[in-house]
A = this chain, B = another copy of it.
Amino acid sequence: MSYERDNIRSLDAYTPGEQPDRGDVIKLNTNENPYPPCEAVMRAIGQVPADALRRYPSPQAGRFRQIAAQVHGLSPQQVIATNGGDELLRLAISVFCNVEGEPSKRTGIGVTEPTYSLYPVLASIHNTPVTSIPLNADYSIPDSFAKDMVSSEVGLVLVVNPHAPSGRLEPVEKLLAIAETLRGHAVLLVDEAYVDFAEIDALPLLDEKHELDNVILLRTMSKGYSLAGLRFGYGLGHANLIAALDKARDSYNTNALSQAAAAAALEHRDAAATSWQAVIGERQRMGDALMSRRFMVQPSQTNFILVTPPAIAGGQRLSDADAAADLYQFLKAANILVRYFDHEGLRDKLRITIGTPQQNDALLQAIDDWLTAGR
């Protein structure tokens, strides 16, 4: 006897990247920041009094909301704090997309192909369909994207920018054009999980002069602020959209500790910015080093790079796809985890998180071993 809904029964759950317990593994597979969170964050956690744990937390993370509004030049009503960026994604899908069978229009999400692999899983959990449009060969968004989404009558369009897993950054003008085409038809959520490592962000979309009532930006403390373990993200957008999301979230969706830590992290973002510069520098170095080893390297504005290994290793010719899978396994045996996607268009590639200089050197050494060693 199964009691769950059909869509849950048939669901292939999302597979997060491996999270080994062992300390001797070099983890370059889940895009964590290689540097620890700043001292001020640890102090803020240590200073949360027992009484703040005894009582219910601020339902809307009031203090964090104030700080985020100030940092981004918005009003608090344009900010929602969530239990990781994941919760914001789930909320947006459940609030803006009708379920299959519901009478109204605006069913389903619209995404690019490829995109962050969690989106279609969240759509399945909500039992809403996915409209997927292939990116151009250079991972840019096709010009017809927004119009096609309007035709498909989706409720929510999810665009990760900078893009995962390619690392490509679309210019604000392009996002603006997409939002304008979608206005009156669908909400556009720009997932800026990696924005701290990019040259520009999508905040100009929220400028009142554009009169966009259908834009939400997703931010997370996981990557830029070295706080993946904290589960804290937030959304920025039109106050009406934020209010709708706010109605649907769990009553107390973030906790007293994560609120205090996230507030401290945002207040001390200069400390985090030091890590962004270090990662950007290493990203350049690693790209150059891998290109000199005959890897194809996709230009990246994130803390990872998508690379295509050369199809020759240890003097042996492999198919393109075999080379990536082979290198993935080779690195894993050497205690270095990177991300391999068994997914069309990605089977010849690896996504590699930028680590510390020492971790990156170890990776290059292991790659050199793979390139030269007989297998």
Q: Footprint of B on A, CB under 8 Å?
A: 1-6, 8-9, 11, 13-14, 16-17, 19, 27, 30, 32-33, 35-37, 41-42, 45-46, 48, 50-59, 83-84, 86-87, 90, 94-104, 106, 118, 125-127, 155, 183-184, 186-187, 213-214, 222, 226-232, 240-241, 244, 246-248, 250-258, 261
Q: Is A14's CB under 8 angstroms from B96's CB? A: no
- Oligomer: number of copies: 2
Q: 15 A-B contacts, Cβ less than 8 Å apart?
A: A1-B183, A1-B213, A2-B240, A3-B241, A5-B102, A5-B106, A6-B104, A16-B59, A45-B46, A53-B230, A55-B229, A56-B228, A100-B102, A125-B247, A232-B255
Is chain A's interface secondary structure helix, strand, loop, or mixed overall?
A: loop
> When A247-B8, A255-B258 are in contact, do A99 and B87 touch as well, CB less than 8 Å?
no
Residue of B nearest to A7 (CB): B102
A95–B4 CB distance below 8 A: yes
Q: Determine the chain B residues whose CB is within 8 A of the CB of A248 once the complex forms.
A: 8, 11, 125
Q: Are B32 and A54 in contact (CB under 8 A)?
A: yes
Minimum CB distance partner of A11 in chain B: B247
Determine if B83 and A54 form an interchain contact, defined as CB atoms under 8 angstroms apart: no
A252 to B247: give the CA distance in the assembly, Å: 22
Across the interface, do B244 and A3 meet the contact criterion of CB distance under 8 Å? yes
- The answer to whether A257 touches B45, judged by C-beta atoms less than 8 angstroms apart, is yes
The reply to whether A257 and B241 form a contact with Cβ atoms under 8 Å apart is no
Q: How far is it, in angstroms, between the C-alpha of A36 and the C-alpha of B229 when the chains are bound?
A: 25
Verify A90–B250 contact, CB threshold 8 A.
Answer: yes
Q: Name the B residues within 8 Å of A46 (CB-CB).
A: 45-46
Minimum CB–CB distance from A72 to chain B (whole Å) comes to 21
Q: Contact: A36 with B19, CB < 8 Å?
A: no
A53 CB, min distance to chain B CBs, angstroms: 4
Which residue of the partner chain, among B83, B96, B99, contacts A250 with CB atoms under 8 Å? B83
Do A231 and B255 touch (CB < 8 A)?
yes
Set of chain B residues within 8 Å of A126, measured between Cβ atoms: 94
**Neighbour of A56 across the interface among B5, B32, B45, B87, CB < 8 A:** B32
Give A160 Cβ to nearest chain B Cβ, in Å: 16
CB nearest to A100 among chain B residues? B102
Cα A52 to Cα B106 in complex, Å, equals: 40
A95 surroundings in chain B (CB, below 8 A): 4-5, 8
For A1, list chain B residues within 8 Å (CB): 183-184, 213-214
List, in ascending order, chain B residues with CB within 8 A of A59's CB.
Answer: 16, 19
